[in-house]
Structures are given as structure tokens and as C-alpha cells.
Chains A and B, each alone.
Chain A
Amino acid sequence: MAEPTVSPEQAALWRRWCEAAATAGEPMAAEPDALTLAAYAEDRLSAGGVESVEDWLALNPQVAGDILAARQAEALASAAAPEAVIARAAALVGGGSAQILPFRGQAARPSWRNAIAWGAMAASILVASLVGFAMGNSTYVTLIDGSSVSLSQELLDPPTGLFNADEDSAI
């Protein structure tokens, strides 16, 4: 039989069929996974499996090249790759699993140390209160003393310097 010539008439027939199939809403074959396509390339599928894959391949002819390449895969299996490519791909998986370090546990403290810590805290609060009371009391006594009157007057007196009107007029 002669080589099939791609005549315009035959190509037009195929186009017409494709358009008719598309508008007729022909059920689409399910996309086979890579393993099914590989099994097809190795002639390991049943007759039904072959039909299903070929039905899908007819609508996805760009994948036909994959089948052709897969049939020749064994010949390419020993091909060498550039070291840079190997190193880059190998680096995708890190070495070893990450080591998780636990937090350092709190060392158990003896109860007497706890008692001292709490006692020291209470004593410091007490001392601070006493000092605060003593200082407040001292200030109060100073204010109600006689000398505090002159101090308060001094505080309420008009300011000197630029704000002193008498001095300004004298100038």
C-alpha cells in the first residue's frame, strides 16, 4: 500500500469529522495517568485499556510524541547528564532529618530557696513602703511649719525680671 499522502481532501475530511465530533458532544475519554501511558507504551494494557488510551490520545495528539519517546526510553536510560544538573537536583532533598532540640527544663529548686526568694520580695516591699511613708511625712511636716509660709508666698509672688512691671517702667 502506498504511503498515506496528506491530500487536502483527506485533511478536510478529518477536519470535518473533528468539528462534527466536537459539536456532537462525543463523550471525552478520561485522561490516563502517567503510569497508564507508560503501560500503554510497553504494550501491557488490556484491549479495553488500549482503546481508552487511544481514544484520549486522538484528542491530545501532542502526547503521542511522549509515547514514541517512552518506547525508546531504555536506550536513553544510560545517557549522562551534566554534573551541575545532577548537583542541583540532588540538593532538592536535604540530608538527614531536622534535629529538634527540647527546651532546657527548669532545674528543681529546693523549697528553702523558694522561701528565701518570697521572703526577700516581701521584705523589699515593706522597706519601700516605710521609706515612702517617712519621706511623705517629713514633707508634710515641713510644709505646715512656719518657714513654709514664706516659701509659699515666695511661690505666689509675681516673677522678677522681664515680667516685673515696676522695673520696666523704671527703665
Chain B
Amino acid sequence: MAQEIDLQALSRGEKSAWDAFVRRYAGLVVAAVRGVAQEGGDVEDLVQEVFLRLCKDDFRLLKTYDPSRAGISTWLTIVARSTARDALRRRRLAQTPIDAVPEALLATDATPPEKLKLPEGLLSPRQKLVLSMIYDRDMEVAEIATALGVDPQTVRSTHHKAMLKLRSHFSTEEQ
């Protein structure tokens, strides 16, 4: 896909290259942004923010793209979604009056919390990620498997082993 776009001409700021790039990938950016803006965000404005981020500061972000490390569609999807999420977060913050924030959230605790000890590497990064996707993001096993590029059975097994470790660790701690 990247071969269709002259990335060097693009990073030099050539108008024709930019137009070709926009025409080629606008659909992808719209689809990526729509996935983030499901909660009523304005897709067109978010798409514009993505393209603005790509070309601003003399195409600084676009110049960081390296075709030898990842495909441009994959990279653009990541960039588009993170830009859209940041934009939505900024808008939410701008619309939240300080009075609406509970005081408990603004308060700072003067006493540092007591440090607990966790065995080094109790959970592997993959196990933490799987648990986080299941319990924090309510993702389905099939979705997690796709995201991690593994089969669903591996996800179930990872979850099971992680739970055994946690159960064992906390039951020992209580005794």
C-alpha cells in the first residue's frame, strides 16, 4: 500500500503527494476514528484533527513513519485512534466545570500509602494484559485473541494460569 504513496514527497510537503495521501487513506482514518467516537463524537472533526496532526510542524509525525517497521495502514490506524481519543478527552475536560469534580478527587493525601510487596514477576506482562482486557475492558476472548494474534485457547489458558497464581499468592498472604 505504501508504494502507492511517495512518502518522501509527502514529507517534503508536496501538495500533490498530500492530496494523493488524503484520498488514499481518508476512508481508513474515518473507519478508525469511528471506532473511538462511538459515544457521539463528531467523526468529521476528529478525522480533520488526525490529518492536522500528521502534517503539522512540517510533517513531524509523518516523518517518524518507517515502512520497514510496520505497514502504513496499521500505523495510521494506531495514530488515528490515539489522536481521536486524546481529542475527545480534551473536549470532555474542557466541558467539565471544576465545581462538578468531587472534592475527593481534587484532594491530595499527605501520607504516602504503605508499600505492599509483590513477588517479582508474579504475573507476566501477557497475563496482566489478558486480565486487564477481560476485567477492565470487558473484552471477549475472541477479541483478545485477535488483538494478541493468538488463538482463543491460549487466551483461556493464560487467564486460568494467572488466576491460579493470584489465588495462591493472596491465600498465602492471608495466612
Interface residues of A (CB under 8 A from B): 1-4, 6, 10-11, 13-17, 20-21, 23-26, 29, 33-39, 41-44, 50-55, 57-59, 61-74, 76-82, 84-86, 88-90, 92-96
Nearest CB of A to B47, in Å: 5
Known interface pairs A41-B70, A64-B129, A88-B48; A95-B28 also in contact (CB < 8 Å): no
Per DSSP, chain A at the interface is helix
Within 8 Å of chain A (Cβ to Cβ): is B1? yes
B71 touches A94 (CB 8 A): no
Within 8 Å of chain A (Cβ to Cβ): is B137? yes
Within 8 Å of chain A (Cβ to Cβ): is B7? no
Known interface pairs A3-B141, A34-B82; A59-B27 also in contact (CB < 8 Å): no
Nearest CB of B to A148, in Å: 82
- A76 to B52: give the CA distance in the assembly, Å: 21
Instruction: Tell me which residues across on chain A come within 8 A of B77, comparing CB atoms.
Output: 38, 66, 69-70, 73, 76
- A46 to B85: give the CA distance in the assembly, Å: 28
A38 touches B156 (CB 8 A): no
Interface residues on B, range: 35 or more
A33 touches B64 (CB 8 A): yes
B26 touches A68 (CB 8 A): no
Instruction: Tell me which residues across on chain A come within 8 A of B31, comparing CB atoms.
Output: 76, 79
Nearest to B59 among chain A residues (CB) is A93
A73 touches B118 (CB 8 A): no
A77 touches B1 (CB 8 A): yes
Q: Pick the contact of B129 from A16, A42, A54 — CB < 8 Å?
A: A54
B114 touches A66 (CB 8 A): no
B116 touches A24 (CB 8 A): yes
Nearest CB of A to B65, in Å: 7
Nearest CB of B to A52, in Å: 7
